[in-house]
Amino acid sequence: MAEISDVFFVDGMRTPFGRAGEKGQYWNTRADDLAVKATIGLMERNPNVPKDRIDDVAIAATSQTGDQGLTLGRSVAILAGLPQSVPGFAIDRMCAGAMTSVTTMAGSIGIGMYDVALAGGVEHMGRHPIGSNADPNPRFVSERMVDPGALNMGVTAERIFDRFPHLTKERSDRFGMLSQHKAQAAYDAGKFQPDLVTVAIKDAEGAWGLATEDEGRRPQTTMEDLAALKTPFRPHGRVTAGTSSPLTDGATMSLLAGGGAVKELGLAPKMRLVSFAFAGVQPEIMGIGPIPSTEKALKKAGLTIHDIGLFELNEAFAIQVISLLDHFGIADDDPRVNQWGGAIALGHPLAASGVRLMIQLAAQFAERPDVRYGLTAMCVGLGQGGSVVWENPHYDGKKKK
């Protein structure tokens, strides 16, 4: 008989994130191969998990075409050397793809149908820009269901400034600058490197090399630099390249398990899933999506925002994160928030990003036994938000000195 089970984030790994386009490190690397590398790295780091015990593989991609098509979960499972008895599928919730891979697998584990699962995402935005090969239904615009600008994420970010005038460009610029500084400090301290899978890459001349770190960082960024940048989404606008996540290629993968499998296989989980929620908002202002999804997730968990000791919020745009912090009464520079920087510095390979947030939160939990609960949350294209509340298995109830 199947039994209701706790769901644990056992481990997660990712490829370094590359700058999308011809000058990026993954221009000559297939998207599915990035997912394969992340999967192999994760399985090699968890030898206690027999490959034939994986019940399912969920891999998200926003543009499911070309080397991101062909039922990624199944094709990557085969390419990564998992037994052919292991099934898999592909999933799409745009930016929250990997997050949805995790929550979907978590649901199957929670009701006792699965014991162990892999969940992640991949996006090669160099090969497959957002919306490429998509054909939005003309009714969206003709029947005024969705404003045409809603399909341009930068335009939706500008609208957050319109709605909340006290969220100034200067605040957004400072958040973007600090993301770069924090990410570099975390790199210098060796925080990211343990969870990165090295990827063999080939340059335009055919020479081989290795991708070992995130490519898009700009640690020398200053407020003066950001003030001088163009506003591509609107004349005299407030959103710039310095306060937006860059176009990025990369893959993430996580290993999830139920309580019985954790005990049977002798695993040491990094987090326990407490609750999750997704919510819809107006597509025209999609960046506020994580506000209602976080409120729903907290309510399901019986918690309040004050119970959250660490936040990993996806920085699609600085203004989008600031709007969530402002709503919950949290300072822009609160040390609990994105303490190792975020997507503005590291990149946002759409469907892969949700698991990056989880990998970073898990690593921070290990350092912070004084913190019991953490939140991973993100905005989602077409007007959605996704949030997951996690519990720290290292929590000891002692206040930090």
Q: Would you please indicate which residues are annotated as catalytic (active-site) residues? A: 95, 348, 379
Q: What are phi and psi of 376, to 5 degrees?
A: -115, 130
CB 14 within 8 A of CB 251: yes
Contact 324, 294 (CB under 8 A): yes
Residue tagged 């893959």 (tokens): 251
Q: Is residue 258 within 8 Å of residue 114, measured between CB atoms?
A: yes
CB 160 within 8 A of CB 320: yes
Q: How far apart are CA 228 and CA 242, in angstroms?
A: 10
Which strand (E) or helix (H) includes residue 103?
A: helix 97-110
Closest alpha carbon to 34 in 119, 124, 160, 146: 124
Comparing CA positions, the residue from 324, 290, 325, 312 lying closest to residue 364 is 312
How far apart CA 79 and CA 182 sit, in angstroms, is 36
Please give the DSSP secondary-structure letter assigned to residue 339.
B
Q: What is the spatial distance between Cα 279 and Cα 152, in angstroms, rounded to a whole number? A: 20
Whether 77 contacts 88, CB under 8 Å: yes
